[in-house]
A and B are shown apart, each in its own frame.
Chain A
Amino acid sequence: MNLSRRQFLKGGAATLGGVALLSSPMAYALRNSTKTEAPPETKLEQYDWEKHYYAFAVDTTKCIGCGKCVVACKLENKVPPDPEHTRTWVERYVITEEQEIFVDSPEAGMEGFVQPQMNLKYQGLAISESFFVPKLCNQCEKPPCVQVCPVAATYATKDGVILVDQKRCIGCRYCIQACPYGARYLVPDGDVTPNGYSRVADKCTWCYHRVVKGHPPACVEACPVGARVFGDMRDPQSPVREILRHSRVYTLKPSLGTKPKVFYIGLHFGVV
């Protein structure tokens, strides 16, 4: 078949126009098909996210390293049971008389720190101080993870929590690289998130499904010594506001400008 340039262009334009005309009802149908998805069971009508702005406090002078928070988090959020993939963990800092600093987090802290093999390497050391530091997502005001996501799959809610849209996440791991706190992980093959996705980024949500219903995050509920405190910055009576009023608090890696919303009481200068 011999086509002149003119015929080709005319034909092409007609085809494109036809496709456009035909596809508009198709597009409409497709759009509506996604619309008919069953609505989520609990509509949170009485919850107004503009009225809340959450923050978290960790009192490192109280933590006893029992690891109950890690266990509770894993159960509440169906986090993979292995220590490598975890939304929260407890670190142990051991500082010697020579100001040498050791940090470890055996089993992410979920088994506690009492098993003899966890303490072998510190035998015979002249320890000057030692303490536990629970870690979790800092839900930064300036989150680097949100900035780097190439598919807009991670975002900050208006009440101040960073969430991952795991339907959109392509598992590229940019956010995992970008987080200076190591708070994100990739859901391994064979494990699924509560939303039913695998091989996507996952992170602490401050138990978003609990806090919007007025319950504290599972780790806060589980802490037997009150080392983890959750609260609402918009509520002057909130325990977090009380802590910010009366305690000297610190954040992790403040020089990075991420503006974390997890405030630490009694944080040692050696903690990173």
Chain B
Amino acid sequence: MSKDTRHLVRAGALLVVGVVVFLLIRQVLVPRSFGEYGYYRGENVQEWASLPLTFSDTSSCNQCHAPVYAQWHSSPHVAVSCENCHGPGIAHIETGAKLTIPEARELCLVCHERLFSRPANFPQVESVAHAGDVECTACHSPHSPAIGGTPPASQTPTAGQTPIATDTGPTSAFPLIPHPLEGRATCSLCHRVEAGLVPLSQSHAGRTDDICLACHQQRKP
């Protein structure tokens, strides 16, 4: 090897070693799946995709709670998913953990209290004027909120099975009258079993105006 080429070989060898070292370090530092799909760690997509679910969906509720599901399904509240009020259901489905419902009045009013920002066609009430401090569930079943709507279905648990929660209907035996009576002609003008402005349940068929106030009192202002 001539004197003139030896320094080139040395420099070349150093360069090769340097490149090898760089590649090795890179090998160690760059994650294995980096660049698999793009300029990121490909495995991370799978990491996000395989996170466990917390919320289920309404169809899984139907598997055990069919009667109340049917009642809810034919009510205007069908757009409100079960877990919206009852909380996330996966833990309940998998371990039987009990679901708890927050204070009913607050739960109802977060959607139904009158607010100037809500769309005008959404059902809203001035809660105090509408019902004082009476619980909403005294008159309205959350699964069928219209007064006199579909009556709650009962569900008998099969032997040995843990009792299945069901809707027992409005808590007050006799819903209170939420509006003033003065200036209104008769109850049946609006409240009728059939074709009434405010429908009554079938159990009220054949009843006349003179007996309404025997059970239903006017709400205290």
Q: Is the CB of B28 within 8 A of A27?
A: yes
Q: Is the CB of A65 within 8 A of B117?
A: yes
B13 in contact (CB, < 8 A)? yes
Nearest CB of B to A127, in Å: 6
Q: How far is the CA of A133 from the CA of B140 in the complex (A)?
A: 30
Q: Is the CB of B28 within 8 A of A224?
A: no
Given A75-B88, A131-B117, A155-B40, A114-B21 contact (CB < 8 Å): no
Given A19-B21, A66-B111, A114-B115, A163-B48 contact (CB < 8 Å): yes
Q: Is the CB of A64 within 8 A of B122?
A: yes
A88 in contact (CB, < 8 A)? no
B110's partner among A47, A112, A163, A167 (CB-CB below 8 A) is A112
Q: Is the CB of B83 within 8 A of A221?
A: yes
Q: How far is the CA of A159 from the CA of B40 in the complex (A)?
A: 15
B181 in contact (CB, < 8 A)? no
A225's partner among B13, B27, B51, B122 (CB-CB below 8 A) is B122
- Of B52-60, B64-72, B146-154, B202-210, which binds chain A? B52-60
- Of B31-39, B159-167, B168-176, B190-198, which binds chain A? B31-39
A86 in contact (CB, < 8 A)? no
Q: Is the CB of B88 within 8 A of A76?
A: yes
Q: Is the CB of A221 within 8 A of B57?
A: yes
- The contact size tier of chain B is 35 or more
Q: Is the CB of B24 within 8 A of A20?
A: yes
A117 in contact (CB, < 8 A)? no
Q: Is the CB of B41 within 8 A of A168?
A: yes
Q: How far is the CA of A93 from the CA of B117 in the complex (A)?
A: 8
Contacts of B45 in A (CB 8 A): 49, 157, 163
Given A66-B110, A218-B55, A221-B55, A40-B17 contact (CB < 8 Å): no
Residues of A at under 8 Å CB distance from B? 9, 13, 16-17, 19-20, 23-24, 26-27, 30-31, 34-35, 40-44, 47, 49, 61-68, 72, 75-76, 92-94, 111-114, 119, 122, 127, 130-132, 152-158, 163, 165, 167-168, 194-195, 205, 208-210, 212-213, 215, 218, 221-222, 224-226
A215's partner among B37, B57, B84 (CB-CB below 8 A) is B57
Chain B 65-93 residues near chain A, CB threshold 8 A: 79-81, 83-84, 87-88
Inter-chain CB contacts under 8 Å: number: 159
Q: Is the CB of A152 within 8 A of B40?
A: yes
Residues of B at under 8 Å CB distance from A? 10, 13-14, 17-18, 20-21, 24, 27-28, 31-32, 34, 37-41, 44-55, 57, 79-81, 83-84, 87-88, 109-111, 113, 115-119, 122
Given A44-B46, A65-B117, A114-B110, A13-B14 contact (CB < 8 Å): yes
Q: Which 5 A-B pairs have the closest CB atoms?
A: A155-B40, A209-B51, A40-B50, A112-B110, A130-B117
A61's partner among B14, B21, B119 (CB-CB below 8 A) is B119
Closest residue of chain A to B22 (Cβ to Cβ) is: A20
Closest residue of chain B to A37 (Cβ to Cβ) is: B43
Interface CB pairs A-B, < 8 A, 30: A16-B21, A20-B20, A27-B28, A31-B28, A31-B32, A44-B49, A64-B122, A66-B110, A67-B110, A76-B54, A93-B117, A94-B116, A111-B110, A113-B115, A114-B109, A152-B40, A153-B40, A155-B44, A163-B44, A165-B40, A165-B44, A194-B51, A195-B47, A208-B48, A209-B52, A210-B55, A215-B55, A215-B57, A218-B54, A225-B122
Contacts of A195 in B (CB 8 A): 47-48, 51
Closest residue of chain B to A23 (Cβ to Cβ) is: B24
Q: Is the CB of A40 within 8 A of B47?
A: yes
Q: Is the CB of A210 within 8 A of B53?
A: yes
Nearest CB of A to B53, in Å: 6
Contacts of B28 in A (CB 8 A): 26-27, 30-31
